[in-house]
Chain A
Amino acid sequence: MEAYRQEIIIGAVLIYFVFCVLTGIWAMRRTHSSSDFFVAGRGLGPIVVSLALFSSTLSGFGFVGGPGLVYSTGVSSFWMIVISSTGYALGFFLVAKRIRMMASLRNCISLPDIAAARYGSESVRFLLAVTIVLGVMGYLATQILAMALVMQAILTGTEMFANIGLVSCVIISSAVLIFYCVTGGIIASVYTDVVQGALMMIAGVLILFAAISVFDGGMQEATAIILADDAEAIMPYGTMGIMASLGWFFVFGLGLAGQPHLVTKMMMNKNIADNRTILPMSLLGYVLAALLWVSIGVVMRAAVIAGVSEPLALPDDAAAVFLAAFANPILAGIVFAGLFAAIMSTADAFLNIGAAAIIHDIPKAVRGKSLENELFWARIVTVLMAVVAAGFALYSHYQDATLVALLGAFGWATFAAGIFPVIAIGLNWKGATAMGAIVAIVASLLINFIVQLAAIPIPYGISGGLLAFVASLVLFIGISLCTNDRKLDKDIDALMNI
């Protein structure tokens, strides 16, 4: 079986690509309106929503970047995932019920729609849409680049494609991504998420067992090797220190309820009562899938320190090297298919919310109405966004890596800092005002942008995202307390009493 390792991996990935294409064709038949395209007609069952929710949380970053971060920084990056139970719980307490109710009451198909209904302000809608587009472009470019790099790594291991270039891999991966996003919209995405979620859970558990068996003494031997080399690396705050770790707890824990690609999925379930089963199912799925992040990272760090494995050229190679050196070919095939699934599912979710922001929200904010024939334009804009993001990805790889990094910095932290107060608090507090929301969004964008652009060093590993988030919360509540806003619309006022 070992002799056919590359063929088995390529076969698993091909099967997954074919599945994506077929899902896109099937979903196209069920997509008749922009509501179907963006929020699946708000008719999904709890299992589908649960799997879609957790699998969108763990993108290619979770499969590639996560183990790489553990390899590089030790336990520090654990904080991004161990807060998932807090993040999901808060997301459901603060957002799940009200966003679902408001989506039905006002026929909302996007997060800026929700904000506009809540605050009665087109300025808030516009700013939220712009924030989403900025964040989405950075995320998308990194997802496409990750997908192309992994594809190139797999294909160059074969005789036939030994010299395949990165541009070809970007084209192939973008083509499959575009096909199933454009044809099936969010319906294709969430049903692909079901398979993806299952793959990720299976991969997480199997990888844990593979990782434990690398050292005779199991995980304890691996952590003891790291402890002997540098104790802080395997102590609770890792190499980056206590404030970097607590910053990640804050930004990733609370920030989960501010991620547009996640909270938008909370608008898609059929019944509000389903939320009580969606929360534990999503959490369980996440925990199982995240085992991959922790176990590969720890074992690869220990293996390199102990001389069992050569030092990695790049920390992000941790997962690929682990799979090549320590995993059965079939398991490697499952994980690689799961990796593509993770990347494509998240990329699709971002394409979806980005397209909604461009063709639905920005025109509505600027000229008072969205575009005619939204479904048609949604598909056109989806293609354009994917092409531009692919261009960004290639440009960043060959010319200027800071461009995507800059946009990427607008990713999770910007969504968290800019959107969490406006949506998660605003949907639960009648005193929140449009002025508070506008200042919070602008301040969070500026702080993140300035810290990133000027490369301002902050002591003790404190991140710009943490500063932006705390500032945004203080400004949002403080300014709302000081400003008198218009009265809430009667239906919104009544809804916020429920």
Chain B
Amino acid sequence: MQNRVIIGIFTICCAMAALLLAIILAEPVAGSGGMPHPTIPGMMNGGDGAARLAEIGWFAFLFQCLLLLLIVALAALGVAQQHHGLKLYTLLFLSYLFTLFIWWQMYFGHLHFLETGETGYFLGFPVATAWQMYGTWIGAIPLVLIYVLGFKTFIHSDEDEQVYQALLKQYGAK
């Protein structure tokens, strides 16, 4: 199973590299990385958001979907072979869906603003930004909970501790 996970990680990384290449080769847009503020020195402006996304929006969206997938794949790699199983995969998959939902809300919330010029606010920020600001932070909480609440089940069980202590006795500290 560990080999399957690493092949999965490798495939995701290659796909991300290909997307990066596609973005680099895409038609350049003036000011895509920001431009100086017209009146205030030291401050940057973003300019036309729709134009900045026109050539690469979908590539970037897919890039982030793959990055979120890479994160749960790496978390799976960090769990020892003997603790892999349906329960772990289900939890990691749900965790992925949760982050994907947040990313979806953020991306399409921003597109909606670009189309309509209107936005609501949530806890001080425009809605799309609130998904980024609060949502991204919360997005990894399921992973944190899997680690904390599932510590004895997935990360370091009592049996693992016994094996480790036996290993220390057998080889000692070199």
Residues of chain A at the chain B interface (Cβ within 8 Å)? 71-76, 78-79, 82-86, 88-90, 92-95, 97, 101, 104-107, 212, 218-220, 222-224, 227, 230-244, 246, 249-250, 253-254, 272-273, 275-277, 279-280, 283, 287, 294, 301, 304-305, 311-315, 424-425, 428-431, 458-462, 466-467, 470-471, 473-474, 477-478, 481, 490-491, 494-495, 497-498
List, in ascending order, chain B residues with CB within 8 A of A471's CB: 17
Bound form: Cα–Cα A357–B127 in Å: 47
List, in ascending order, chain B residues with CB within 8 A of A250's CB: 67
Digitize B49-84: 1 where CB-to-A-CB distance is under 8 Å, 0 elsewhere.
Answer: 100110011001001100100110011011111100
Bound form: Cα–Cα A254–B9 in Å: 13
List, in ascending order, chain A residues with CB within 8 A of B133's CB: 75, 78, 82, 294
Digitize B30-41: 1 where CB-to-A-CB distance is under 8 Å, 0 elsewhere.
Answer: 001111010011
**Distance from A41 Cβ to chain B, minimum over Cβ atoms (Å):** 12
Digitize B110-126: 1 where CB-to-A-CB distance is under 8 Å, 0 elsewhere.
Answer: 10010001010101111
Bound form: Cα–Cα A280–B69 in Å: 22
Given contacts A86-B139, A243-B60, A279-B144, A424 and B74 within 8 Å (CB-CB): yes
Interface centre among B53, B128, B164, by most chain A C-beta atoms within 10 angstroms, is: B164
List, in ascending order, chain B residues with CB within 8 A of A242's CB: 52-53, 56-57, 60
Could you name 10 residue pairs across A and B whose Cβ atoms are closer than 8 Å? Answer: A75-B133, A86-B136, A89-B140, A105-B167, A223-B121, A223-B125, A232-B46, A311-B43, A460-B23, A498-B164
Given contacts A218-B124, A470-B16, A105 and B129 within 8 Å (CB-CB): no
| Docked-complex contact A241 and B33, CB < 8 angstroms | yes
List, in ascending order, chain B residues with CB within 8 A of A234's CB: 125-126, 129
State whether the Cβ of B97 lies closer than 8 Å to any Cβ in chain A. Answer: no
| 8 extra interface residue pairs, beta carbon distance < 8 Å, beyond A223-B126, A233-B44 | A233-B45, A239-B34, A254-B71, A273-B161, A458-B24, A461-B34, A462-B23, A498-B164
| Docked-complex contact B43 and A474, CB < 8 angstroms | no
Please give me the residue from chain B that is nearest to A313 by CB atom.
Answer: B42
Residues of chain B at the chain A interface (Cβ within 8 Å)? 2-3, 6, 9-10, 13-14, 16-17, 20, 23-24, 26, 28-29, 32-35, 37, 40-49, 52-53, 56-57, 60, 63-64, 67, 70-71, 74-75, 77-82, 106-107, 109-110, 113, 117, 119, 121, 123-126, 128-129, 131-133, 136-141, 143-144, 147-148, 151, 155-156, 160-161, 163-164, 167-168, 170-171, 173-174
Interface centre among A74, A88, A242, A272, by most chain B C-beta atoms within 10 angstroms, is: A242
The 7 closest A-B pairs by CB, nearest first: A232-B46, A219-B124, A461-B33, A93-B78, A85-B140, A236-B132, A239-B46
| Docked-complex contact B56 and A460, CB < 8 angstroms | yes
Bound form: Cα–Cα A322–B171 in Å: 57
| Docked-complex contact A273 and B139, CB < 8 angstroms | no
| Docked-complex contact B71 and A236, CB < 8 angstroms | no
- The contact of A481 among B10, B70, B81, B137, by CB within 8 Å, is B10
List, in ascending order, chain A residues with CB within 8 A of B136's CB: 79, 82-83, 85-86, 249
| Docked-complex contact B156 and A236, CB < 8 angstroms | no
Interface of A is mostly: helix
| Docked-complex contact A428 and B173, CB < 8 angstroms | no
Bound form: Cα–Cα A125–B167 in Å: 24
Interface centre among B138, B151, B168, B170, by most chain A C-beta atoms within 10 angstroms, is: B151
Bound form: Cα–Cα A143–B41 in Å: 25
| Docked-complex contact A474 and B147, CB < 8 angstroms | no
Bound form: Cα–Cα A315–B44 in Å: 11
Please give me the residue from chain B that is nearest to A305 by CB atom.
Answer: B40
List, in ascending order, chain A residues with CB within 8 A of B75's CB: 89-90, 93-94
- The contact of B81 among A89, A494, A497, by CB within 8 Å, is A497
Interface centre among A246, A466, A470, A498, by most chain B C-beta atoms within 10 angstroms, is: A498
| Docked-complex contact A75 and B80, CB < 8 angstroms | no
| Docked-complex contact A272 and B156, CB < 8 angstroms | yes
**Distance from A226 Cβ to chain B, minimum over Cβ atoms (Å):** 9
Bound form: Cα–Cα A79–B135 in Å: 12
List, in ascending order, chain A residues with CB within 8 A of B173's CB: 104-107
- The contact of A104 among B17, B109, B147, B168, by CB within 8 Å, is B168
